[in-house]
Structures are given as structure tokens and as C-alpha cells.
Amino acid sequence: MGTPVKTYRPYISPFDPCPPFLERKFYTPPQLYIPFQPPGLPQYSPYEALKRGTLWPDLYSGYEASQT
């Protein structure tokens, strides 16, 4: 299984007036790592599913604040 946090090194221009970020991070959603929906996945209640945006806890990801 892959990691939900990916990193990359952006292009740094010699004319950039600000100090550069040498490495940036981004988060990938959990459904990228589940090739198919297995039967019998636990489900949120309808109210909780509307609040979180998904019916299944395995597909929920509360993205963390980016730390650059």
C-alpha cells in the first residue's frame, strides 16, 4: 500500500524574490489505494456520512494541514 503523503521538489527560479520551498508535500485520497470496494465495509450513519462526505470510514481522509 502506498503512503498518502507525497513530496516533490518544485522548480526554483534564480529570479524568485522570495526564499524558495525546497520540498512540497501533498496528500492523496485513500480510494487510490483500494482497487475495488470489498463487500461488508463498515458504514457511517446517514448524518455522519453527510458530515464527512463519504459513507465508508475506510474512504474518509481528514487532510492534515500542510507543513512545508
pTM across the whole model: 0.56
Give the helix/strand (H/E) hosting 52.
helix 46-52
CB 58 within 8 Å of CB 24:
no
For residue 42, give Cα distances in angstroms to 2, 49, 52, 54, 62: 22, 12, 14, 12, 18
CB 67 within 8 Å of CB 25:
yes
Q: Give the model confidence (pLDDT) of 29-59 as tens digits.
A: 888 888 888 888 899 999 999 998 888 888 8
Q: What grid cell was written down for 50?
A: 453527510
